[in-house]
Structure 1
Amino acid sequence: MGDNTKKERRKFLDKGLKLGIAAAIGGLGISKITSKLNAKPNNHSGDKMELMTVDGTLVEIDSSEVMEVQHSEDHDKKYNVREGIPNRKFVMVIDLAKCKNALKCVIACNKHHYITGENAWLKVHKMQESKDTAPYWMPRTCMHCDQPACVTVCPVDATFKRRDGLVLIDNERCIGCRFCMAACPYSIRVFNWEEPKQGEMSEITMHLSGETPSPDYAGMPSLKGTVDKCDFCPHTIKNNELPHCVTACPNGVFYFGDKYEDTVTNGEETLRLSKLLTDKAGYRLLEELGTAPSVYYLPPVDRLVDFEKGLEDYNEFQSVEKPE
């Protein structure tokens, strides 16, 4: 894939999602919004955002017109909520039917976050429920839960949730108690037992939010004795670009987007989130726990490639030192 193509794939808020909104919302949805705009203002916030109509026209609406997830009154305090990017609710969809264990997602995540070895934030697992069922490949990331158990148990507020859906860790506050690791039902967090081999951190935007939360908060370099995990690449999101795992995957396994806009993209195609989940029987892991994950899975049916074709990469990857 050429450099120009890669750059085009990375842009998603400016192009991918706005184009997707046309298909996702349709003329009726836009007409309802514009009719509200023509009516008398009612409890408008004053904050504006752009949507695209089906004929390609950009319309500016008040952000209060966007349907947001409703939370209980104590939600913000309970989950240590910080601002993040206004009027966004980021989600990911992973299509298991497309995964052939190319491992490009893992390599890209490791490279851009300067992670090595078993501390990889993204892993691909061989899955088979029983000897009578078909095996398949399953990428596993942080679920970025809307009601994250990991946040509620942290005694020093080192882990927190942003309003845009991202769950992050402040490594400078983390004391390494690992309560969050015990509380996470997805066992996705990792602990830095040794000094991380991260080299230069030039690519990662580092900005502690402190008392004035910053939408470009992307964590600090990993530290020995602290916890790490997938962060949905906030340093790329703030630049209207897709996370590294999405753009690195050659098979379009990962879709990323905004739940409020009901739109997700893998860089090649942009789809309506609700329709994709309905048509493909999308689901979330351990739904019954009430954590409300932001990561959805599509079942491994009508697969693009045979499972065995991914074994070569898997065995090779396991037998050598994982790429930095």
Structure 2
Amino acid sequence: MEKNKNEKSSTNRRNFLKLGLMSSVTAVAGASLISNLASEEELKASGEKVRLLTPDGKVVEVDATNINNYPEAHITPAEARKGIPNRKFVMVIDLAKCKNARKCVEGCQKGHKLDHGEEFMKVQLIQDNPEAEPYWFPKNCMHCDEPPCVTVCPTGATFKRDDNIVLVDTDRCIGCKFCITSCPYSARQFNWEHKAKYDDKSQPYSPETSVPGAEGTVIKCDFCPDMLRQGKLPHCAQSCPMGVIYFGDKNEDIVTNGEETVRFSQLIKDRAGYRHLEHLGTKPNVYYLPPVNKQFPLERGFDIDEEIIERYKDVPYVQELKKQGKL
């Protein structure tokens, strides 16, 4: 029974269009998705039906099994700069649910073919003051509306799209690292060596997939635009077993973690959502819900490799645990 429940949960996260993420059953990829659905004959097949809104405003009913049958489509560097029309993607991270399972990290690494030491999603341990208990803090690229990384890039390799996503075009990147030093969130890293991506010659290069990779360039979280074009949640959101990460469209005012679909504005209002380092004026598109009434004991998050625990050595709470011989 539990296994079936987990499998169903995983399927729901992978196919978030079926959860009604977009109001008025609007497809996330618009014309691209509609034009690449199965043939008219296949759409008449029996089974669950899902209603979608076409780009010209017509409501159509299609077989649910065809929703994510989106063929591999190469998005060129020029097309990647345009973004997905009429979307303003946003992420919400519920700190009360996080127990440092690190599945978001692993899912992202697998989806982006990252090496073991490369992490677009990092889980930090934050202790705001010596009297307070720490909390787990997943942190990725904030995809800012005022991104300093874009401002300092001398070649235009880093760019901001209309759908809120900030990407890196490694064809233009010269590896100057200006963007790395300007990012207040430490969201970027230099690609010294990336064997897995070098070997992947199965598709032409695209900034939306960063495959194949390029040594001597900058890499970072990209909100998984290739997944979004297929109507799927980003790798981190669909990998989290606790439903910590919500993702959706600010224009539609809806976000989902694959299990729960809610109004973005209401969620932020009811839970006092905030943005990390708001005072810097970068206007991030990643929001956080405070770690109030945490659902899991903090100690569960220490069931990890010693090398990762070492990252938290400067946190007073961890120092105290080590003194007591509990770590």
SS at match of 1:288: helix
Quote the residue 1:143 is aligned against: 142
Distance 1:263 1:202 in 2: 37
Conserved 8 A contact 1:16-1:267: no
Distance 2:230 2:102 in 1: 25
Match of 2:285 among 294, 311, 314: 294
Alpha-carbon distance change, 164 to 206 in structure 1, aligned in 2, over 3 angstroms: farther
Quote the residue 2:21 is aligned against: 17
Alpha-carbon distance change, 316 to 131 in structure 1, aligned in 2, over 3 angstroms: same
What is the CA-CA distance between 1:185 and the residue it aligns to? 1.2
Distance 1:208 1:229 in 2: 14
Distance 2:182 2:18 in 1: 37
Quote the residue 1:155 is aligned against: 154
What is the CA-CA distance between 1:264 and the residue it aligns to? 0.2
Quote the residue 1:41 is aligned against: none
Conserved 8 A contact 2:112-2:209: no
- What residue identity is the alignment partner of 1:272? R
- What residue identity is the alignment partner of 1:310? G
Quote the residue 1:282 is aligned against: 273
What is the CA-CA distance between 1:5 and the residue it aligns to? 4.6
Answering whether residue 232 of structure 2 is matched by residue 232 of structure 1, we say no
What is the CA-CA distance between 1:182 and the residue it aligns to? 1.2
Cα offsets for 1:174-226 (capped at 9, x unmatched): 11100001111111101123x212255479x75547xxxxxxx3334332211
- What residue identity is the alignment partner of 2:133? A
Distance 1:223 1:251 in 2: 34
Q: How does 1:238-257 map to 2 (within 5 A)?
A: 238-257=229-248
Distance 1:166 1:14 in 2: 23
What is the CA-CA distance between 1:89 and the residue it aligns to? 0.6
Distance 1:298 1:113 in 2: 26
- What residue identity is the alignment partner of 1:89? K
What CA RMSD, in Å, does the superposition of the two structures yield over aligned residues? 2.9
Alpha-carbon distance change, 4 to 98 in structure 1, aligned in 2, over 3 angstroms: closer
Conserved 8 A contact 1:119-1:192: no
Q: TM-score, normalised by structure 2?
A: 0.73
Conserved 8 A contact 2:9-2:258: no
Quote the residue 1:98 is aligned against: 97
Conserved 8 A contact 1:119-1:191: no
SS at match of 1:13: helix
Q: TM-score, normalised by structure 1?
A: 0.73
Alpha-carbon distance change, 5 to 297 in structure 1, aligned in 2, over 3 angstroms: closer
In structure 2, the gaps of 5 or more residues are 26-30, 35-49, 58-79, 311-327
Quote the residue 1:267 is aligned against: 258
In structure 1, the gaps of 5 or more residues are 24-46, 51-55, 64-80, 210-216, 320-324
